[in-house]
Amino acid sequence: MSDLTSEPTLANKTRSSFGKRQKEVARQTRRKEKDAKRLEAKQKKAEGGTDAGGSGEDPDLAGIVPGPQPRAWEGGDAAPEEESGDR
């Protein structure tokens, strides 16, 4: 009787093997989906298509002018004092 309790049953081996197989199938499916998505992105990039309407400009940076920006508090009384040049 001690021989039966020390060895795992056949049902437990099958269950774990089945679970491993299910994980492997899921892993292969995800990999195929990722490969297809990468291929699609590569083709889209080769065509020159972008999400920004084809302008090639980053939508987060659209309309930003480089250089000094106007003061946000210009014309208000609560503006911080300017540095005076007579230090």
Q: How many domains does the chain have?
A: 1
> Distance of alpha carbon 25 from its chain centroid, rounded?
24
What is the per-residue pLDDT for 77?
54
Q: Is residue 24 part of a domain?
A: yes
What is the per-residue pLDDT for 53?
53
* Rounded Cα–Cα distance for residues 22 and 10 (Å): 18
Most confident of 2-11, 32-41, 73-82: 32-41
| Residue 31 domain boundaries | 8-47
Q: Is residue 21 part of a domain?
A: yes
Please write the tens of the pLDDT for every residue from 50-73: 554 556 778 888 888 888 888 888
Sign of the Cα pseudo-torsion (48, 54, 55, 59, in order): negative
Q: Is residue 85 part of a domain?
A: no
Q: Is residue 38 part of a domain?
A: yes
pTM of the model: 0.41
Please write the tens of the pLDDT for every residue from 31-40: 999 999 999 9
